[in-house]
Structure 1
Amino acid sequence: MEASSTPEPVLRAGDLEVRPDEGLALAAGRTLMLSVREFGLLVALTARAGHIVGRDDLFAEVWGGSLRHGDRSVDVYVHKLRVKLESAVPHVRWIHTHVGFGYRLEPEPAAPPVTGASHPFHTEGTPR
């Protein structure tokens, strides 16, 4: 079997750049240290940025088989990938979960952390 001579295109979404042929992913110019599975998920999600990708489809593409009932591999690796992306670029939320459907990669501003007095359920000092 002969390797394809056509290079895979560089994938981009916001400050994320993925180079499938090089096994390289950059978030805001920072190299991400990813496992093979994490990188495969990132390629699959970035290639379909803005679209929901089903867990079955992700498993088939990255693991090369059929997702068995109860298998949480995709969810575990998406979590690991999410943590790495959000550590590299903390002001951006990259991967969004669509319960019952799958995952969507789309850079969106992260919500600011909720602190004491700005929390909507904060009751300290509230008159009774």
Structure 2
Amino acid sequence: MYKPKILVVEDDPAITNLIRTTLDTQEYQYHTAKNGAEALLDAVSYNPDVIILDLGLPDMDGVEIIHKVRGWNMVPIIVVSARSEDQDKVEALDAGADDYLTKPFSIDELLARLRVALRRSRAEEGAAQTQSSIYRNGGIVIDYAAGCVYMEGNEVHLTPIEYKLLCVLAKNTGKVLTHNYILKEVWGSVLASDTPSLRVFMATLRKKIEKNPSDPKYIQTHIGVGYRMIRQ
């Protein structure tokens, strides 16, 4: 049975040991790197299924590592950092990180985020989504070829903007998307004045696909950062 390979990039020995012990209990394979140079080399030679990355490394900033890795590889990257400001999260996610966990963190939450990243990675490897494919998540079905959306078997009538929003979220299921990323994908530009419009369209989209929009099941809000489609 294949055991996923995890690359842990962390310069704090105590945190490294904690993560290593955690991965041992789940029988994951792993390799550790204590600086950016080692991380970039291991990202090529070890070919990990997921990278767990600290941002505050001794030789380079973790965001720079994300940019470099994203130049040739779409391996899921989970940031685990002491930086807790929204701007730090947005910068890392905009650079291409898939998730962001703030220190101190719960081991159970780290494992949950890791499982989500692995599921998403396997799904993308199994079948790359194209415009002719069918997307299914819980009760949501998107027929990209027909441009139709169904909820629990019933067709949902969306505006063009709502449809674009849903498709962007669906094609990045499990990944936190920043406001700027969504604005660029849907509107083609990133203007601060467009953010309120994004919130309005997101609210109308939720009313059409969520049974209880005030307690959403599918589209999760990350306050000050963006949104995430949850895999059901």
**Which residue number in structure 1 is paired with residue 66 of structure 2?**
none
Higher relative contact order (CA 8 A, sep 6+): 1
**Which residue number in structure 2 is paired with residue 15 of structure 1?**
139
**Which residue number in structure 2 is paired with residue 80 of structure 1?**
204
1:52-84 alpha-carbon deviations (Å, 9 max, x no partner): 111111111111112325731111101000111
**Which residue number in structure 2 is paired with residue 25 of structure 1?**
149
Supply the distance in 1 between the matched residues of 2:146 and 2:194 (Cα, whole angstroms): 33
Q: One-letter code of the match for 1:74?
A: L
Q: How does 1:39-118 map to 2 (within 5 A)?
A: 39-69=163-193, 71-87=195-211, 93-106=217-230
Q: State the TM-score, normalized to the length of structure 1.
A: 0.69
**Which residue number in structure 1 is paired with residue 160 of structure 2?**
36
Q: Is contact 1:13-1:49 (8 Å) kept? A: no
Q: Is contact 1:55-1:103 (8 Å) kept? A: yes
Supply the distance in 1 between the matched residues of 2:210 and 2:185 (Cα, whole angstroms): 24
Q: Is contact 1:86-1:92 (8 Å) kept? A: yes
How many residues are aligned here? 102
How has the CA–CA distance of structure 1 residues 8 and 61 changed in structure 2, closer, same or farther, with 3 Å as cutoff?
farther
1:65-109 alpha-carbon deviations (Å, 9 max, x no partner): 123257311111010001111249xx972211001221011156x
Greater shift in the superposed pair: 70-79 or 91-100: 91-100
- Residue ranges of structure 1 left out of the alignment (5+ in a row): 1-5, 109-128
1:23-73 alpha-carbon deviations (Å, 9 max, x no partner): 101111111110000000000001111211111111111111123257311
Q: One-letter code of the match for 2:155?
A: T
Q: Match of 2:229, SS?
A: strand
Q: Is contact 1:93-1:107 (8 Å) kept? A: no
CA RMSD of the aligned region, Å?
Answer: 2.5
Give the superposition deviation at 1:20: 2.1
**Which residue number in structure 2 is paired with residue 126 of structure 1?**
none
**Which residue number in structure 1 is paired with residue 52 of structure 2?**
none
Q: Is contact 2:183-2:194 (8 Å) kept? A: no
How has the CA–CA distance of structure 1 residues 7 and 80 changed in structure 2, closer, same or farther, with 3 Å as cutoff?
closer
- Indicate the percent of aligned positions where both proteins have the same amino acid: 29
Q: State the TM-score, normalized to the length of structure 2.
A: 0.40
